[in-house]
Structure 1
Amino acid sequence: MFSGILIIHIAAGFICLVTGLGAMLSQKRRGKHSWFGEVYHGSFVVIFLSSITMAIMHWEESAYLFYIGFFSYSFAIIGYLAVKKKWKNWLRYHISGMLGSYIAVITAVLVVNAPKIAFFQGIPILWIWFLPTIIGSPLIALTNVKYRSKKASAT
């Protein structure tokens, strides 16, 4: 049963990687961007539920993954709900939440696969855990500035 859940988890992670990139690269309006975003969020729900389930199944070794799953999904749900509910400053929450959740997916992929990738050999695992956030956080800030500027110039 665990192996089946793991396969679903990996497939959903791959879908998140592809659709998250699709959402980032598509024009920001209804259509492709929205479609990629919906599929991304749905896949992230699968990642969240499967990670929680696997952590519970192997609690002794994986309890920390239970908490990481909740933390990671909190970014995705904030980004998703911000655009759906049109909160005050929704665009900032949407950008920060969705890109923050994408950083979580990238981090998970790197942490699991870094030992198998020659480029990452010799890099301490703690760096692998934090490198996506170190690189991604300034990019989130720049993206927020970019879209705040576009919104301000449009009004």
Structure 2
Amino acid sequence: MNTHIFLLIIHIIAGSFCLLTGAINFSVKKEKGYHTRIGEWYHIGYLVVFITSVGMAIINWSESAYLFYIAIFSYGLALFGYLARKLRWRGWLSMHISGMAGSYIGIITAILVVNGAAIPLINQIPSLLLWSMPTIIGTPIIFMVGRRV
């Protein structure tokens, strides 16, 4: 098995893990304990997604350079949300919500773009819309939730 395939397998597993743990954390009560533990696992999963993305981009730069930039931006959001909570920055809750939800939009976007052609009905949506739809839907939700805190 070559390095790119190995990284891709790990990347898919970690991305799926982030999709699951993110969904769980959005649906559970926000208190120290379960939400915090799942959030730690989400962050670790996202770190693995980031590392494997960068590795795959470097190995196959001519075809995957975009992956490098998307990885930096998406993980940057996850890290921002994680550190806002960990370091208790002033206004941390709003930053935490924005960063974590923004990073989750990144995971959903990646899954839709990569797998959209194989999903009935979604395969009818133009590529540009697949790329932007999670952001168009998710950003107003982030702002509404952020204004409540």
| TM-score when normalising by structure 2 | 0.96
Q: Distance in 2 between matches of 1:88 and 1:121?
A: 43
Which among 11, 14, 18 is matched to residue 13 of structure 2?
11
Residue aligning to 2:138: 136
Give 1:121 shift.
2.3
- Aligned structure 1 segments of 4 or more residues deviating by more than 2 angstroms: none
Q: Which of residues 35, 44, 47 is equivalent to 2:46? A: 44
Matched letter for residue 106 of structure 2: A
Q: Which residue of 1 aligns with 2:92?
A: 90
| Aligned-pair CA distance for 1:123 | 1.4
User: Which of the two has higher C-alpha Rg?
Assistant: 1
Q: CA deviation at 1:145?
A: 2.1
State the distance in 2 between where 1:61 and 1:6 align: 14
Secondary structure of 2:106 counterpart: helix
Number of equivalenced pairs:
147
Alignment of 1:54-93 (within 5 A): 54-93=56-95
Across the aligned residues of Structure 1 and Structure 2, the Cα RMSD in angstroms comes to: 0.7
Displacement of 1:79 in angstroms is: 0.1
Whole-angstrom CA distance in 1 between matches of 2:128 and 2:12: 22
User: Displacement, 1:26?
Assistant: 1.1
Identity %: 50
Structure 2, unpaired ranges of 5+ = none
Aligned to 2:106: 104
Q: Secondary structure at the match of 2:29?
A: coil
1:62-107 deviation per Cα after TM superposition (whole angstroms, max 9, x unaligned): 1111111001111000000000000010001000000000000000
Secondary structure of the 2:89 match is: coil
